[in-house]
Amino acid sequence: MRPMTISARTPMERWTAVLEAFLTRDEWGVRDLAVFVALSPSATHRILHEMVRNGLLTSAAEAGRFVIGPEAVRLSVLLAERVDVRRIARPFLEGAARLIGETVILALYSPTRQRFWAVDAVESEHTISYIWESLRSWSDLHRGASGKGILAFLPADEREAIITSVDPSEQEDLRAALDVARSQGYVISHGERFDGAIGVAAPVRDATGRVIGDILSGWPDNRNAGDKEQVVVAHIVEASASLSRALGYRHETETLAIEFPDPA
């Protein structure tokens, strides 16, 4: 996160700026914090001590320095427990499905199992559509856009541990495919998980930047006319980015430019 400049100096904006500074560093002193949030030392000193009185901050071991307090910790835990990713994601799924005209699915990742499962979907009105129900059980990450849309964007050590668990004959091609996915910011697959199915997926991140799942769309290849893949990519990437922002992800400088493949 870059140092911020606050033009409108309302009390709420000042408090928010100070709290957000503690997302970048565990401990602050008055003067260095004042520079970071573009406030005067006197205003910063007053806010810090008001926050200490309210339990949001507490004094650090070194005099004149401050760390996150017990009330801020309590609120963060309680609020995190109330986050319902499926509920928050639903409008983004519906919007993407309306624009694409195909089934759009939300999948979540389990770090302990190193697998994913589909938790919600907005289905297309086509007679023949993507059979998303089959993804509601635990599924591997190394096959199809649905899995690779998560796997490609995991931390390198976690990603490599999963790659080395698959058949050795598949590992080199898998690494290459995941490299391409990371450079693009999305995944396209053709018939990898289901014969005749095309999938597009992009990762969803939480407020810490951790990949928690992906949004994906799938359709049969007999409806893959014209620039359909490019259109779907644009809407899925936007839906995933919008959901990530709604979950608190703010590292906009890490957003990758979308590079569309040439039409087949």
Residue 3 lies in a domain: no
The pLDDT of residue 255: 39
Q: Encode pLDDT of 47-56 as tens digits.
A: 999 999 999 9
Task: Give me the amino acid identity at 232.
Answer: V
Arithmetic mean of pLDDT over the chain: 87
User: Is residue 72 domain-shared with residue 107, that is, in the same domain?
Assistant: no
What pTM, to 2 d.p., does this model score? 0.70
138 belongs to a structural domain? yes
Domain stop point among 57, 80, 103? 80
In-domain check, residue 4: no
Residues 101, 218 within the same domain: yes
Q: Which pLDDT value is given to residue 263?
A: 36
- In this structure, are 207 and 153 located in the same domain? yes
What's the mean pLDDT in 251-260?
Answer: 44
Q: Helix (H, G, I), strand (E, B), or coil: what is residue 187?
A: strand
Return left, alpha or beta for 66; rule: phi > 0 is left, psi -120 to 50 is alpha, else beta: beta
Would 259 be classed as within a structural domain?
no
* Beta bridge partners of residue 219, listed in sequence order: 198
Can you read off the two tokens belonging to residue 158?
């976690």
Q: What are phi and psi of 66, to 5 degrees?
A: -135, 150
The CA–CA distances, whole Å, from 211 to 85, 148, 203, 245, 247 equal 13, 12, 6, 13, 11
**Radius of gyration from C-alpha coordinates of the chain:** 22
Into how many domains does the chain fold?
2
pLDDT at residue 127, rounded to an integer: 60
3-state secondary structure of 212: strand
pLDDT tens-digit map of 125-179: 776 555 666 677 888 999 899 999 999 999 999 999 999 999 999 999 999 999 9
**Is residue 173 domain-shared with residue 135, that is, in the same domain?**
yes
Q: Count of alpha carbons within 13 Å of 230, Cβ hemisphere only? A: 9
Residues 148 and 133 in one domain: yes
Say whether both 161 and 48 belong to one domain.
Answer: no
Using CB atoms within 10 Å of the CB of residue 20, give its burial: 0 to 12 exposed, 13 to 18 middle, 19+ buried: middle
107 and 196 both lie in a single domain: yes
Tokens 């004149």 locate to 64
Are 76 and 94 in the same domain? no
Residue whose token pair is 């994913």: 116
Q: Give the domain-ending residue among 56, 80, 104.
A: 80
For position 123, what pLDDT does the model report? Answer: 87
Question: Using CA atoms, how far apart are residues 177 and 237, in angstroms rounded to an integer?
Answer: 18
Stretch 12-33: mean pLDDT: 91
Q: Where residue 65 sits, what CATH number does that domain have?
A: 1.10.10.10
124 and 68 fall within a common domain: no
Is residue 234 scored above 90 in pLDDT?
yes
Residues 26 and 69 in one domain: yes
pLDDT in tens, 184-210: 999 999 988 888 889 999 999 998 899
Q: Does residue 112 share a domain with residue 153?
A: yes
Domain ranges, residue 32? 11-80
User: Distances in Å between the alpha carbon of 259 and those of 67, 184, 188, 202, 246?
Assistant: 42, 6, 12, 13, 24
The answer to whether position 114 is within a domain reads yes
Take residue 75 and report the two structure tokens written for it: 């609120």
Instruction: Please tell me whether residue 68 adopts helix, strand or coil conformation.
Output: strand
Do the domain assignments include residue 177? yes
State both tokens at 231.
């259109």
User: Does residue 136 sit in the same domain as residue 25?
Assistant: no
